[in-house]
Structure 1
Amino acid sequence: MQLTVFGASGKTGQQVVQQALSRGYQVVAYVRDPAKLSVTDANLKIIQGQLNDLDMIKGAVTGSQAVLSALGPTGKEASDQQISLGIGNILIALDELGIKRFIALSTTSAQDPYDIDSIKFRLRRTMIRKGSPSSYEAIVEYTELVRQSECDWTLLRIASLLTNASLTRNVQVGYLGRDKFKAKLSRANLAWFMLEQIDSTEFIRQAPAISN
């Protein structure tokens, strides 16, 4: 089975690529700078491209049965705008090529109908919006693009601080105000859970929050 991974050169993306290869998948990694991807494997194909290049994105997802996005905002306005544009182009490519499964990262800055909102969560969103407005806007924008798409999407909303801790396969998944989340989430656990969703139907067209 072939997967395409966007954001493959980032810290979480490299975890996704490494773990996918260890599971025996054929992996296509779409990156802006191949030098930043330290993984090498016979089953890994690296495609260099930009998120605004729809034709390159189409080429990267052709032949894949699932597409995963480890893209995330950086706090830099131009870069964050590119992520929203890129997610939009990925969704166009999936629709045109008939690829259904799409798993992407978001954060709890994007609200979900299953969340039980509270003053605490509203204050948190206000702080994020004021402290990093371009990141907040990008997350909300591309999360809504995914929600409106016709593919079998799953959005995993990061609810805590990302760390480089080891893989434990122990995560909490649920919704704000309904479930308790820990303060940290290892990138290894996040990548593992993303890959678990490829063959799972539990969270199709849902956006649960996730922590360790």
Structure 2
Amino acid sequence: MNITVIGSTGRTGRQVLVEGLRRGHHITAFTRRPQFLPTVPAPTKVVTGDGRDPEAVRTAVAGADAVIAVVAAAGRKGPHHTAAVARVLTAAMAETGVRRLAITSAYPIVGVRPRLPMALLRWMLADAYADTAQMEEIVSATDLDWTIVRLTRLIDQPARGGVHISRGLLDRPGTLTRADVAATLLDTVADTTYARTAINITGG
């Protein structure tokens, strides 16, 4: 597949890029910081730009079979641009005829168990989660074949496999390796099983 990865130099985005290339996909890396892209393996194509720039985003997604977007603020205090990027990205995809999108979100914006940790996270990250919730509204209002992938707490460890995927709330949200997230995102865009739905994922 021809896959465009938005946010390809972040810790999770890099994992998507490397795993996608390992699977034999043609990967277009879209980033503001191309100097941080791996050289081995190198992406098939690099487009440099800001996710809020319509022209740059159109260039990045044109000709893609699918787009994987991993957009997050650099730090807890922001700035938070996830909703703004989603608005530009979905418009660019509609204009260029690209339909398949997987975009990451945060499970705590819908999670209710365990009650105290979820409430504390929503208080600590109120601005970030408000931005993320707005992103979900923007994406789900389109007629693209979108999948919103809500993530639990991410850790930097080798893939474990056994990822649990649910359309409903999770009984026991736990940790999730970024490598497993990358594999799940790539699996998600490979077909339309989870098209036009939000899924919640956690480690096995």
Alignment TM-score, normalising by the size of structure 2: 0.90
Within-5 A mapping of 1:154-165: 154-159=147-152, 161-165=153-157
- 2:200 aligns with 209
Aligned in 2, Cα 1:147/1:110: closer, same or farther, shift over 3 Å?
farther
Residue-by-residue CA offset, 1:129-152 (whole Å, 9 max, x unaligned): 321222111111101111111100
1:14 touches 1:39 (CA, 8 Å); kept in 2? no
Q: Count how many residue pairs are aligned between Structure 1 and Structure 2.
A: 202
2:31 touches 2:50 (CA, 8 Å); kept in 1? yes
Deviation at 1:42, TM superposition (A): 5.8
Aligned in 2, Cα 1:62/1:133: closer, same or farther, shift over 3 Å?
same
Aligned in 2, Cα 1:43/1:136: closer, same or farther, shift over 3 Å?
closer
Within-5 A mapping of 1:56-67: 56-67=56-67
- 1:14 is paired with a residue of what secondary structure? helix
- 1:71 is paired with a residue of what secondary structure? coil
In the alignment, residue 83 of structure 2 is paired with which amino acid? S
In the alignment, residue 139 of structure 1 is paired with which amino acid? T
Distance (whole Å) between structure 1 residues aligned to residue 155 and residue 133 of structure 2: 23
Distance (whole Å) between structure 1 residues aligned to residue 102 and residue 25 of structure 2: 16
2:159 touches 2:180 (CA, 8 Å); kept in 1? yes
Distance (whole Å) between structure 2 residues aligned to residue 25 and residue 2 of structure 1: 6
- 2:93 aligns with 94
1:9 touches 1:31 (CA, 8 Å); kept in 2? yes
2:186 is the counterpart of 1:195: yes
- 1:140 aligns with 133
2:47 touches 2:59 (CA, 8 Å); kept in 1? no
- 1:184 aligns with 175
- 1:77 aligns with 78
Aligned in 2, Cα 1:146/1:110: closer, same or farther, shift over 3 Å?
farther
- 1:34 aligns with 34
Distance (whole Å) between structure 2 residues aligned to residue 46 and residue 40 of structure 1: 14
In the alignment, residue 203 of structure 1 is paired with which amino acid? Y
Deviation at 1:181, TM superposition (A): 3.4
1:128 touches 1:136 (CA, 8 Å); kept in 2? no
- 2:148 is paired with a residue of what secondary structure? strand
Distance (whole Å) between structure 1 residues aligned to residue 159 and residue 52 of structure 2: 33
Distance (whole Å) between structure 2 residues aligned to residue 168 and residue 16 of structure 1: 15
Runs of 4+ in 1 over 6 A off after TM superposition: none
Aligned in 2, Cα 1:125/1:148: closer, same or farther, shift over 3 Å?
farther
- 1:114 aligns with none
In the alignment, residue 94 of structure 1 is paired with which amino acid? M
- 1:170 aligns with 162
- 2:44 aligns with 44
Deviation at 1:122, TM superposition (A): 6.1
Alignment TM-score, normalising by the size of structure 1: 0.87
Kindly, what percent of the aligned residue pairs are identical? Answer: 26
Deviation at 1:201, TM superposition (A): 2.1
**Structure 1 spans left out of the alignment, 5+ residues:** 112-116
Deviation at 1:182, TM superposition (A): 4.5
